[in-house]
Amino acid sequence: MGELSNLYTLRPEDLEKAIPADLPTWETAHLGWWDFQKRRWATLWLMRSLYQQLTTCSSEAQALEPGPEQDKLWHECYKTVAKTLKEHAEEAKGCFIKAGQVMSTMVGLLPDEVTSEMTSLTDRLPVSKPEEVFRIIREDLKYAPSDIFSSFGLRPVASASVAQVHKAILKSTGVVVAVKVQHEGVDNLLMEDVSTLNTVASQVAYWCPDLDFREIIDEMEKALPYELDFREERRALNKAGQVLRSEGSSCIIPRVHREYWGRRVFVMEYIDAQPILKLLEPQFLRDFQVDKMEVVRSLVDAFGLMAFKVGLYHADPHSGNVRLVLDPSAPGGARPVIFDWGQFKECEDEERLTTAKVIHCLANFDITGVFEALSVLGFTFKADVLNEDMRRELFERARGVMKDTVNKAVVRENVQHDLNEHKERVQRASLEGDKTKASRSPIWFLEELPRCVMGFLRMLQILRGLCVALDAEGLPILNILAKRAEEALQQASLDPELTSKLKIFGAHHTRRLPSAPILRYSPSSPLESLVQNAVSRLSADRRAVGVQIAVMLGTQLVCDVTAGTLSNSDLRSCTGETRFRLLDLSAGLGAIALLRCLRRLHAKQDPLFAGVDKPEDLLRLPVGHFWPDFGGAPEVSPALGQILTHSAGLQDAFPSKFSSSHLDKCADVWDHFEKVSLVPGDCRYAYLLQVFVIAKLCSIVSGIHSFHQFLVAELSPLGLDLSLPTGRGGEAFVCRPMDILSRVSMTEVQASRERRREQNANSSEGPQHQSLLQAALKDPLAFDPLLGNVSADDDAAFRAGMSLTASAKGLAALFSHPELHEELSALRALSPSEAKDSTPLGWFLTAGATSFTTGGLQRFPLRRRCLALAKCSRGCRREGWGFTSGLGPAVFHFPHAAPEGLTIAITVNNVLSGQGAVRELVTLILAHFGWKPTWTSMPVRTMLDAKQMLDQPELQSVVAAAGGIEVIRSMISGEPKEKPEDPQRRSCCSCCSCCACRCCCGGCRLRCCQAGCFPCGAGLRESAADVKKSNGTTCFGRLAPNWPTKLA
Which residues are catalytic, by number?
A: 316
Which contiguous run of DSSP H or E holds residue 880?
strand 877-884
* Alpha-helix residue ranges (DSSP H) falling in 93-229: 95-104, 112-118, 130-141, 145-148, 186-207, 214-228
**Residue of 272, 244, 270, 273 lying closest to 257 (CA atoms):** 270
CA 697 vs. chain centroid, Å, equals 35
Eight-state DSSP code of residue 988: S
DSSP bridge pairs for 334:
326
What's the full length of the chain, in residues? 1048
CB burial of residue 1039 (10 Å; 0-12, 13-18, 19+): buried
**Residue of 102, 161, 219 lying closest to 464 (CA atoms):** 102
User: What residues contact 952, with CB distance under 8 A and at least 6 apart?
Assistant: none
Q: Virtual CA dihedral for 815, 817, 819, 824, nearest 10 degrees?
A: 20
In order, the DSSP letters of 548-574 are EEEEEETTEEEEEEEEEBSSSS--PBP
Coil, strand or helix: which one is 795? Answer: coil
Would you tell me the crossing angle of helices 349-363 and 367-377 to the nearest 10 degrees? 160
* Dist. CA 758–CA 75, nearest whole Å: 35
**Residue of 987, 964, 908 lying closest to 547 (CA atoms):** 908
Q: Which long-range contacts (CB under 8 A, 24 or more apart) does 355-358 make?
A: 355/307, 355/308, 355/452, 355/453, 355/456, 355/485, 356/307, 356/308, 356/484, 356/485, 356/486, 356/488, 356/489, 357/485, 357/489, 357/504, 357/569
Check: CB of residue 856 under 8 Å from CB of residue 594.
no
* Dist. CA 274–CA 279, nearest whole Å: 10
**Residue of 444, 448, 855 lying closest to 639 (CA atoms):** 855
One-letter amino acid at 440 equals R
What is the number of other CB atoms lying within 10 angstroms of the CB of residue 297? 21
Backbone angles phi, psi at 900, to 5 degrees: -105, 5
One-letter amino acid at 903 equals T
Coil, strand or helix: which one is 519? Answer: coil
* Alpha-helix residue ranges (DSSP H) falling in 229-381: 230-246, 282-287, 292-309, 349-363, 367-377
